[in-house]
Amino acid sequence: MSDDSVLPPPEIENLLAESRLFPPDPAFVAQANASAEMYAEAEADFEAFWAKHARERIDWSKPFETTLEWDLPFAKWFTGGELNVAYNCVDRHVERGLGDKVAYHWIGEPGDTRTLTFADLQREVSKAANALKELGVQTGDRVAIYMPMIPELPIAMLACARIGAPHTVVFGGFSAESLSGRINDCGAKVLITADGGYRRGKEIGLKHHADEALADTPTIEASIVVRRLGHDVHMVPDRDHWWHDIVDRQSDDCPPVAVESEHMLYLLYTSGTTAKPKGILHTTAGYLLGASLTHEVVFDIKPDDVYWCAADIGWVTGHSYIVYGPLANATTSIMYEGAPDTPAWDRWWQIVEDYKVSILYCAPTAIRAFMKQGEAWPAAHDLTTLRVLGSVGEPINPEAWLWYHENIGGSRAPIVDTWWQTETGQILITPLPGVTTTKPGSATHPFPGIAADVVDADGNSVPLGGGGYLVLKRPWPAMLRGIYGDPERYHETYWKRFPGMYFAGDGAKRDLDGYLWLLGRVDDVMNVAGHRISTTEVESALVDHKSVAEAAVVGKKDEVSGQAIFAFVILKADREPSDALAVQLREHVAYVIGPIARPKFLMFVPDLPKTRSGKIMRRLLRDIAEGRVLGDTTTLADVGVVDTIREHSGSAEE
Ligand code: WT7
């Protein structure tokens, strides 16, 4: 954290809405998977609680001997045990007679559909795994995946898991440079990609980004390319293989490889406060347990539910709650390729009606976007099948919560506001439907077995009604095991600020009833549409442009995306500011990192406010971006700078 980072101010709107309580409906309580006893049971002996579920929920090739080895900050769960994740997500369901049950109802944006049963998945996953083996992938080798939301994406992940080859999925919206950076960090051997996909009625090519990335990735030996769009793309002989060639001709028999509990299942890269993304490392048994138990309990999953997590699999939400959690629970999921407004703003509600979706899990940014379009869109559809609604990615403001409750949930379906992170792997703070009385805007309480606390700057618990830093005080099964290749950075980033505790990077408040209210990130990381983007990464991308001398980036409050990226740019002496250059710079960031990081606002400034030690004072820049009265300027080296910037503020254009 930088010196000038401060706790975000308490959200006044949250405090005002606190008075509204939503107790569970008795009819829901009577059938709920969750029970209040779970808390007491887990509290009495958290290791025994997780061990019991690990024995019951996971099919082991070899039972584990030790529940937890905790050598702070390094955890090992269920050591001595062996298992295969793909077997647990697919094969065992087929063996138990669920082969014909639908695993995914897939819906392409243009309207094409595919249905995959668990038996289909077993076949396709085995073939894809055999194709990886043909390309020389062995247990332990890393495989990069860069794909749109098509069925081959979960198939590819499971194929990796089947042979014990850790995957790293790179979100399809990321740039070639982001892709090559991640491939090089983990030394991936094979890339699985596609010619492209559909988004907002347009064809979005991927293969040319992949090619650009592969020009700079010495460890990649081969690629597999799914044909989604059907156009000619450049295929490099001896390197690139069409999926329909190399996968389709394989045998559908591929025995799952049993790996140790702590075998690496995947890496997922996430932003921190430095420019270099961190490879968050997740392992096998604990992760599978954490994802599957929370999925079943938090969403009240029943065998005939139609469950839809509307995230992209490229983020951790998709890993845990589109792929591993739901499949381990033999759940039928919806998977939708495209945008919520294509062809019109009722696309989601049409899908809910057509497929009788019973559980929907999405982000506040989507809810706010729907809110903006008005209630007529959902009102035109039969949404009465919906019985649980979830929210994830950022704090949900009470207005959006209430809108979701009334217009999507028919004032009937409980809402679970779930707090967690790429690092936590599983939901950690959430209501339990049928148990928890909710308050709009509060993620309520830690999941059974999770020890969360709110502490002050010295690490002491704050009293009820107080605010501070969110920490976790004991390990949990799906927790990250480290940052790939950098144990020191793992320790520094998460365990050093408050010794003995995991610091999540979020501010939180606990009200007088003990409810937790998440207040956003306290470091220099923005939350744009529910995704973490570091200010440093965007700054590096700007400075990478030949016209830019220096840049500072902050998050500005945004009605739809939560935060929008606001960039302050100092040009090199011989360059002139212009609207055209501003557009160019914004595009440059989109090119270097991906469209999600494109600054919404960009202002040319002659100077930046700095402390005497030379640190950019983001707090002041945030004030300027928000048009607020300036906070404390006593540490500012040159007080005149802010006025000069203010005089320039006419030039911030979207
Ligand atoms: C950060 C983690 C977890 C999957 C999506 C994002 C914020 C997440 C909530 C919530 C308030 C939330 C936090 C967290 N966040 N869920 N329910 N209420 N804030 O994963 O990219 O790793 O981001 O998202 O700030 O630290 P991620």
Is the model's pLDDT at 9 over the cut of 90? no
| CATH T-level fold of 26-452+489-501 | Rossmann fold (3.40.50)
Q: What is the DSSP string of 45-62?
A: -HHHHHHHHHHHH---SB
Q: What is the mean pLDDT of residues 388-408?
A: 95
pLDDT at 540 over 90: no
pTM across the whole model: 0.91
pLDDT band at 650 (very low <50, low <70, confident <90, very high): very low
Span 599-646, pLDDT tens digits: 999 999 988 888 776 777 888 898 889 887 666 666 666 767 777 776
Structure confidence at residue 654 (pLDDT): 38
Query: Other CB atoms closer than 10 Å to residue 574's CB: what's the count?
Result: 6
Read off the pLDDT band of 536 (50, 70, 90): confident
Contact of 461 with 328, CB cutoff 8 Å? no
519 C-alpha to center of ligand 1: Å?
11
Task: Please state the rounded mean pLDDT for residues 183-212.
Answer: 97
Ligand 1 atom at minimum distance from 504 CA: 26
Alpha carbon of residue 55 to chain centroid: 28
Peptide bond into 73 cis (omega under 30): yes
- Rounded to whole angstroms, the Cα distance separating 537 from 462 reads 33
Alpha-carbon torsion angle 147, 151, 157, 163, nearest 10: -130
pLDDT for the residue 281: 98
Q: What pLDDT sits at residue 647?
A: 66
Please report, for the chain, the start and end positions of each structural domain, with discontinuous segments joined by +: 26-452+489-501, 529-653
pLDDT, averaged across the chain: 93
The arrangement of secondary structure in 529-653, i.e. its CATH architecture, is: 2-Layer Sandwich (3.30)
**Test site for ligand 1: of 269, 419, 561, most ligand atoms within 8 A of the Cβ:** 419
Length of the chain: 654
Mean pLDDT over residues 390-412, rounded? 95
Ligand 1 pocket mutation pick from 317, 417, 420 by most atoms within 8 angstroms of CB: 420
Within 6 A (CB) of ligand 1 lie 270, 315-317, 392-395, 417-422, 443, 504-506, 518, 521, 527, 530-532
Distance 375 CA to ligand 1 centre (A): 27
| Distance in Å, CA 616 to ligand 1 centroid | 25
* Cα(324)–Cα(343) distance, integer angstroms: 30
Query: Which comes out higher in pLDDT, residue 645 or 597?
Result: 597
User: Strand, helix or coil at 120?
Assistant: helix
Tell how far the Cα of 363 is from the centroid of ligand 1, in angstroms: 10
Q: What is the mean pLDDT of residues 91-115?
A: 98
| Residue 653: predicted pLDDT | 39
Dihedral angle over CA of 374, 379, 383, 384, nearest 10: 130
Nearest CA to ligand 1 atom 5: 393
Distances in Å between the Cα of 196 and the Cα atoms of 169, 172, 204, 345, 591 are: 15, 9, 5, 23, 17
Q: Which of 33-47, 445-459, 533-547, 609-623 has the lowest mean pLDDT?
A: 609-623
pLDDT tens for 295-353 read 999 999 999 999 999 999 999 999 999 999 999 999 999 999 999 999 999 999 999 99
Q: Whose CA is nearest to atom 6 of ligand 1?
A: 393
Alpha-carbon span 582 to 580, nearest angstrom: 5
Taken in order 46, 49, 55, 58, the sign of the CA dihedral is negative
610 contact partners, CB below 8 Å, separation of at least 6 = 616, 617, 636, 637, 638, 641
